[in-house]
Each structure stands twice: as structure tokens, then as C-alpha cells.
Amino acid sequence: MSYLAVIAPSLSLDIISKDNIEKAVHFFESRCGLKVKFMPNCRDNASIQARLDDLHAAFSDPSVKAIFTVIGGFSANELLPFIDYELIRRNKKIFCGFSDITVLANAITFMTGMVTFSGPHFSTMAMQLGNLVTEEAVCNLLNFENNFENVKITLTPCEFYRDDPWYIDNTANDQSVLIPNPGHVVINRGSTARGKLCGGNLAAFSLLRGTEYYIPDSELDTIILFFEWCDEYKANLEIFTQQMHAVMQSIGKNRCVGLLIGRFERSSGITMDHLSDLTHNLIRCEYIKPDCPVIANLDFGHTYPMYIMPIGGDCEITASGDIIVSHDAF
């Protein structure tokens, strides 16, 4: 029997309704063929040590094939100094989550060389409407028959998306929550770029600046960044701009070779014109070169459905705006 372990590095399972837990369990067990194993401390607002114990136990357990986080939150970075990265290096397996989990996923990749995945939480898979693209991506990710050799995916825009609080009422019948997707928006076409992916939620990723868990110097000249944003601030545009400049300053001038930006929630008020102005300022400050491709409105972040982005995987952005991600981590 192979298992999918559920851990709670940030907020715990007790904020997820029983109905949504059952829906998510049904998806993983019926569609992916993995038995769901809830780690002992994932149901409580646990201590740092308890959350660490679950993380280490999930990686150590040979019957666990994948680890998904319950949901995001605000406290995953508390774990970073205490993680046994060598244990993880010896027991590589799928690790997936987004939002606050960005700090864990990137730190694990930078410290161990293991590809991690910015993608849905365990709870995300309770969604009953508008999540087909995510479901297919998760099923493909958890298909162990190909052993992850030479996985290559072209990121194709979904037809519709949703940015409502689906977890409050996910009865799956209200088609009005589906919003037509205008597709990828090329902010700066640039030239073909190839590099290693890193990123996730910009606010969470920014917490890694200046720490030992940040992008290794040896990789800074081949980085393609991808960022998304959660509409939880009153000054979304100002703080997003601030954090983007802070990350670019930490990387250094003209070192980022490509920039991918996820879809914003409509309530954020951030528009493509805002991103165009931001891009021009990044070029003016020499944080990115004029030929650095910048593409926005991609299907990742706090709207649904979402791509699964391999942190530490390879990415190619073509001159025509195609985006191809790949990994062969396992």
C-alpha cells in the first residue's frame, strides 16, 4: 500500500470542514490510487517541534510516496532552522503546496537539490467545480509509472477560472462562479529564455532573503522566477511592487532571465497596466534586461484551477510566448 501523507506546517486541518476533508480524501484515493495518511499533529495548531516531527516522519516513511500540505498560513518559516535537510536528501519524494508553503518548498530545494512542487494543497482537491485542470495535473504528478523521467509540460491557459472562496460552499453547481480566462498576457516579449524555476507566493518567498535557505549564488544567473499574490493586504499593488523590487535587489542586476506572474484575484485591483509599469521600472533599474521575457496571468496562485510548478525544475520561455516546464527529479 502506498500513501499520501498530509502535514500542516502552517494552519491545521481543524479549519477545514469535515465535508471538504472527505471530498479531498475521495479524490486522492479514488483518482490517484494513494491511501491518505493524516500525520499525527496535522489536526491541531501544533508546536514547532510537533510540526517538524510530522515533516520528518513523512519523509522517513518508505510507504509514503507524496506529501501534501493541508493549507497555507503564516508560520511555515518557523521550521526552517530545525529541518533535517540531510534526511530529506536521502528520502526524496513529492512535496506539494503553495502560498505560505513557498518558504518550505524553496528552502528544501535550495538545501537538498530536490525538486519540490508549487501546487495545490490537500484541501484544494475538495473543490467540485472548475478544478479539472488541477485534478489532471495532480493525477499526472502522482503517476509513478514513469518515475518522473523527462517530464515535460507546456503551460496552456485554462478556459475558465474562479477566485471565489470555494471552501465556504462548494456544491459544484453554480456556474456563475466561472470566469472566462483571457489567457496569458505577454508584458515583455523578450527573447527565448532557459533556466531553473524558483518562486511561489511573493510575500512568502521574500522571507527567505538574506538567509542560508535562499537561492545559491551559483544559480543566480540561470533563474526564472515565478510569483503569485494573495489578496490579503489593503495596499496590494504597493506591497507587491515593494516585494518584487526587494527580491530583485537581493538577486542582483540583470541576473533573472525570465519572470512569470500568476493570475491575481480580481479583488486585488492589480491590472496588466500596473504590471507593465512595474516591468518597465525593473528594466530601468537594471534588475532585468530589456530582452527578459515577462508573462502574466498564468494559471497559478490563489485562483483556480492551477498549474503545478516544479521548483528547481527547468523552464523554457520561447520568443513566441510559449512556456515549457520540465523535471526529472526522481
Condensed to tens digits (0 to 9), the pLDDT of residues 12-69 reads 999 999 999 999 999 999 999 999 999 999 998 889 999 999 999 999 999 999 999 9
Whether residue 157 is preceded by a cis peptide bond, meaning omega within 30 degrees of 0, is: no
Residue 306's alpha-carbon distances to 47, 123, 185, 199, 228, in angstroms, are 30, 14, 16, 15, 11
Domain end among 130, 149, 168: 149
Within-domain flag for 155: no
314 and 181 in a common domain? yes
Condensed to tens digits (0 to 9), the pLDDT of residues 177-221 reads 899 999 999 999 999 999 999 999 999 999 999 999 999 999 999
Within-domain flag for 255: yes
8 A C-beta contact, residue 175 and residue 276: no
Please identify every residue annotated as catalytic: 99, 228, 302
311 and 212 in a common domain? yes
Within-domain flag for 50: yes
What's 279's domain CATH number?
Answer: 3.50.30.60
pLDDT at 170 > cutoff 70: no
Q: Which three cell numbers stand for residue 85?
A: 535537510
294 and 271 in a common domain? yes
Tell me what the mean pLDDT of segment 258-266 comes to. Answer: 96
> What type of residue sits at position 288?
I
Neighbours of 77 (CB within 10 A): 19
Dist CA 326 CA 25 (whole Å): 28
Domain end among 149, 180, 201: 149
Dist CA 326 CA 62 (whole Å): 25
Dist CA 162 CA 151 (whole Å): 28
User: Global pTM?
Assistant: 0.96
Within-domain flag for 30: yes
Domain hosting residue 266, numbered range? 160-327
213 and 117 in a common domain? no
Within-domain flag for 216: yes
Condensed to tens digits (0 to 9), the pLDDT of residues 96-109 reads 999 999 999 999 99
Helices (H), 91-235: 102-112, 132-141, 202-206
| Number of separate domains in the chain | 2
Dist CA 173 CA 142 (whole Å): 28
Condensed to tens digits (0 to 9), the pLDDT of residues 142-165 reads 985 455 567 889 999 999 999 887
- 86: buried, middle or exposed (CB in 10 Å: 19+, 13-18, 0-12)? exposed
Helical (H) or strand (E) element with 58:
helix 48-60
* Cα 194 to chain centroid, rounded: 19
300 and 219 in a common domain? yes
Residue with cell 483518482: 31
Dist CA 42 CA 61 (whole Å): 16
Dist CA 16 CA 170 (whole Å): 12
Q: What is the mean pLDDT of the chain?
A: 93
